[in-house]
Amino acid sequence: MPNIYFVTIELLIYALLAGCVAHAWRRGPHVVWQLAAGVAFGVLLELATIQQLHSYHYGRFLVMVGDVPLAVGAAWGCIIYTARLFSDASSLPMAARPVFDGLLALNIDLSMDALAIRLGFWDWGLGRQADYFGVPYANFWAWFWVVFSFSFGLRLFTYGRGWVARWLGPLGAILIGLVGVVGTNALIVFVIPRWGYAASVALLLVIAAVVVIAQRPRLGVRPIPWLAAGVPLTFHIYFLGAGLISGVILQPAWLLAVSLVMLLLALYWHRSALPWLARA
């Protein structure tokens, strides 16, 4: 009998992807291509990282691309697409938006990854006590650079209105993204000693936060589609609910506290995309 948590997360991600495709189509076929490039990048970065580091493996989902669930690539595409929607509606300068995108993505993973390994979606082979509730600190380094690299590359190569930028730019973003992922993976695994992982991640997050805060950004200076909030909040709510139903969110109970804090932070950040919350 199929694992209910595997089936529900896979179907949920494909539903989110369908919503993103519908939104992108209204903006133009070239935007659909950008979203598709994000999904392809998600699958390729996972394949490359597994081959490069051999540090984790996935459970068996319904649709696999080699050792990687297609849903994982779709999730990366949705997360990057909606993070860009949100940051593009802010007052942040273009150069700082990929940094904010990386922080938005990390907000999801800080509550998701530790629950995902307890639900069997993937396994780091560390047990559940090591590092961050069983998730290596280096994973959060990777999450930031994955989103930053592709977001930066997409903005760099799609700047302008010509067909080259529109149709070849996403391919350049995939290349920049993969170089960024493989390069930063190598840096933290082969250059930075393991005892320095936590400090390296903390320093990275502090620098990223300072870069964003120093700009004194105003969120929602332009209209924000509900999808920009709907995708991250869906991930938060799903894993909170699945964790409570299965009981894994209490192993240890600190996971529940972390999940609630990350959910509240996401609600605070995305309140400008949710009129009912902005009026509260």
Return mean pLDDT, the chain.
Answer: 92
Residue labelled with tokens 């120093």: 214
Where do the DSSP E strands lie in the chain?
57-58, 64-65, 68-69, 122-123
Instruction: Give the pTM.
Output: 0.95
**Residue 280: per-residue pLDDT:** 41
Question: 82-107 as b/e, with b when 16 or more CB fall inside 10 Å?
Answer: bbbbbbbbbebeeebbbbbbbbbbbb
Task: Provide the total of helices (H) and of strands (E) in the chain, helices listed first.
Answer: 10, 4
Domain segments of the chain as ranges: 4-275
How many CB atoms neighbour CB 133 within 10 A? 19
Residues 6+ apart with CB under 8 A from 153: 172, 173, 174, 175, 176, 177, 180
How confident is the model over 177-206, as pLDDT tens digits?
Answer: 999 999 998 898 888 888 888 999 999 999
**Residue 278: per-residue pLDDT:** 47
How confident is the model over 139-186, as pLDDT tens digits?
Answer: 999 999 999 999 999 999 987 777 778 889 999 999 999 999 999 988
